[in-house]
A and B are shown apart, each in its own frame.
Chain A
Amino acid sequence: MSTLAIRDLHVSIETDQGTKPILRGVDLTINEGETHAVMGPNGSGKSTLAYTIAGHPRYNVDSGSITLDGEDVLAMSVDERARAGLFLAMQYPVEIPGVTVSNFLRTAKTAIDGKSPAIRGWVKDVRQSMDNLRMDSAFAERNVNEGFSGGEKKRHEILQLELLKPRFAVLDETDSGLDVDALKIVSEGVNRAKDATGLGVLLITHYTRILRYIKPDFVHVFVAGRVAEEGGPELADRLEDEGYDRYVSAAAAAS
């Protein structure tokens, strides 16, 4: 059984005003096949957690650890982490002019598998996944994320998730900017990946809406850089009714 473990993680960034601590002791354990929702208000550090797991150079880990089946993730480069089975669906996917989606996907698949995919099967897989996500086949020849709408960018992230078959996926606000139809399509994609590969999911979201389609096993409330409360799916319902105010004022009182 695969496990992604985050222990007492402290992360800061360098800003013009000096060093700014963002994550202040995060503990999370995600087992294969589990879905963990991380919910929290704007600026609470959710994306920071996601980027730190993926290894973005802007974020400095001051202390704590991230391990994948005991292997030190923090010692790996960004691409090594991806090849080890970690995937980040980004909140704001980057445009890459001049690089087509099909070229990009093939290059990524080759890197992850260590060999180029057999051409016929691969073309079929790509087409199938694009169909599933209701992406027009014309997207394959467009440049990565260039001129994509917000919803198209998110579908493209999930397309990669389906094709690259990671062990753990961090989905950073994959639901934001999606209308309800797109939300269903994207959620189905995530659920397909879970069924197919026993994917572990860290689902970062601001709203409970996506949890109707992707059922979490655990919910963590994230406030001011740490987990303020955790529980089962019922915690999401409470947040739906009460919002984050209670946690935010408690965190403010504590600091």
Chain B
Amino acid sequence: MADRSETDTVTTLSTDPEHPAQGSTTPVVTGTGTRPAIIADATASHGAGSPVPVQTRNERFASTDVSAFPPVTGREAGWKLTPVDALQGLIAGELDGGRYELGIETTEGAEVTWVGRDDARIGTAGIPEDRAAANAWSSFQEALLVRLTGEEPSSTTLIRSAFGPTARGAHTIVDAKAFSRGVVVLDNRGSAQLAENVEILVGDGADVTVVTVQDWADEAKHVANHFAQVGRDAHLKHVVVSFGGGVVRVNPSVTLAGSGADGDLLGVYFADAAQHLESQVFLFHEADHTKGRVEYRGALQGEGAHTVWIGDVLIGPDATGTDSYEQNRNLVLTDGTRADSVPNLEIETGDIAGAGHASATGRFDDEQLFYLQARGIPEEVARRLVVRGFLSSIVQKIGVPALEVRLQDAIEAELAGEAR
């Protein structure tokens, strides 16, 4: 498995003349096999000369109480790439934590109910590490519970299109019983001012896919934290799809808690002019023989399109035999965009099967364009063909055919520059 490990570069590519300093490239070394652990914190080289103390990723302050967090200024490590002014209503404002209207489509083997704050599952997958998540947690009155019990694959779609202009705090739990199988889709559309937490409990041997689709209206603001615990020999596929919305930040934290647990963390995003789409991904290999794959891809087009991807992978001291790989690729289609891409890998055991990461932000490749044009394909058509191909490789991995079709259509609409 030596080929899983590589030396790569962290690149923050900006085509925004206002941020000329963002062109830097930082080499990062990743560790493997029996070599000593290497801690590579790419963010350390981004500050202007001030070394960032190396803090293990799972030692961050966490609380469910919003008042335990100081006000957010935008200088904090977790917020410095986010337009916090636009989100202060969700970070510090009052949130309506009551039930909201939603459409539920579900098949046998899954059930959806509301449960009270005293439900024993609440807080077992993880607790907030930032103020917006804590604000949502402090506000919600009831949690929406999706319970997966069937060993035959079930399918649940939560159509959330009626949030409206009210600032809201929400809580969702996906509780997958041992050996259950199912797909849960959070299908987000329309207007929203939403801060939420989603807890995902994947029981031993279960096989679960959770997809959150952000297909919001233009002005929507959405801050979500997903926390997942994946049990012994269980598999979680977690997918973040962000196309629509003004400021969207969906941060998944997945803990591979049981031996042999397997996590696929996928993301696909397409940022248009003035859109901010962000995902801070944390994958924690806690148990031995866990396997993790993180792959996020995004395209950017239009003035002020901004994407942020931070991928933290932590291989804990007990996680022997771990196999981990994370990557982020961005395709820049026009001037005036900015893609931040920061992979971090911490390895606390010397005995792993492999670990590596890659990050690349590139312009649409002129040689690809030439090849296609040389076959008679006009530039615009060629461009769409390539972007579609670039993003499809993630979409194809989702494994939910109806959703794949819908997302391919959404990509087409983005490419056609339609207002969403």
Contact = CB atoms under 8 A, between A and B. Distances in A.
B1 to A, nearest CB: 20
B376 A79 contact: yes
B372 A96 contact: yes
Interface stretch (B75-83, B147-155, B387-395): B387-395
B377 interface: yes
A245 to B, nearest CB: 34
B393 A111 contact: no
Q: Which of A54, A77, A79, A83 is packed against the most chain B CB atoms within 10 Å?
A: A79
B389 A98 contact: yes
Contact of A79 (B368, B373, B385): B373
A97 B389 contact: yes
Interface in A80-99: 81-83, 87-88, 90, 93-94, 96-99
Contacts of A90: 371, 374
A229 B202 CA distance: 75
Interface in B354-394: 365-368, 370-379, 381-382, 385-386, 388-393
Contacts of B365: 94
Contact of A83 (B366, B376, B388): B376
A96 B386 contact: yes
A82 B371 contact: no
Nearest to A82: B376
B377 A111 contact: yes
A79 B378 contact: yes
Q: Which of B376, B378, B381 is packed against the most chain A CB atoms within 10 Å?
A: B376
B376 A164 contact: yes
Contacts of A99: 385-386, 388-389
Contact of B375 (A56, A77, A111, A143): A111
Contacts of A87: 374
A57 interface: yes
Interface residues of B, number: 24
A104 B373 contact: no
Contact of A108 (B370, B377, B392): B377
Interface string B383-419: 0011011111100000000000000000000000000
A185 interface: no
A73 to B, nearest CB: 13
A143 B392 CA distance: 12
A171 to B, nearest CB: 13
A48 interface: no
Nearest to A105: B375
A233 B9 CA distance: 52
B381 A107 contact: yes
A231 B370 CA distance: 33
Contact of B370 (A57, A83, A98, A104): A57
A94 B368 contact: yes
A111 B388 contact: no
Interface in B319-368: 365-368
A227 B32 CA distance: 55
B393 A79 contact: no
A139 to B, nearest CB: 16
Interface in A217-239: none
A79 B377 contact: yes
Nearest to B367: A94
Nearest to B379: A79
Given A57-B366, A96-B368, A82 B373 contact: yes
Contact of A54 (B368, B372, B374, B385): B374
B393 to A, nearest CB: 5
Nearest to B329: A97
Interface in A99-116: 99, 103-104, 107-108, 111-112
A68 to B, nearest CB: 14
A107 B367 CA distance: 18
A52 interface: no
Contacts of A112: 375-376
A135 to B, nearest CB: 17
A209 B389 CA distance: 38
A248 interface: no
Interface in B53-70: none
List the 10 closest A-B pairs by CB distance, nearest first.
A98-B389, A82-B376, A78-B373, A108-B375, A99-B389, A111-B376, A112-B376, A94-B371, A79-B373, A111-B377
Given A56-B370, A78-B374, 16 more contacts: A82-B373, A82-B374, A82-B375, A82-B377, A83-B376, A87-B374, A88-B374, A94-B371, A97-B390, A99-B389, A103-B385, A104-B372, A104-B385, A108-B376, A143-B389, A164-B376
Interface of A: 54-57, 77-79, 81-83, 87-88, 90, 93-94, 96-99, 103-104, 107-108, 111-112, 143, 160, 164
11 contacts: A78-B370, A79-B373, A79-B382, A90-B371, A93-B371, A94-B365, A98-B386, A103-B385, A112-B375, A143-B389, A164-B376
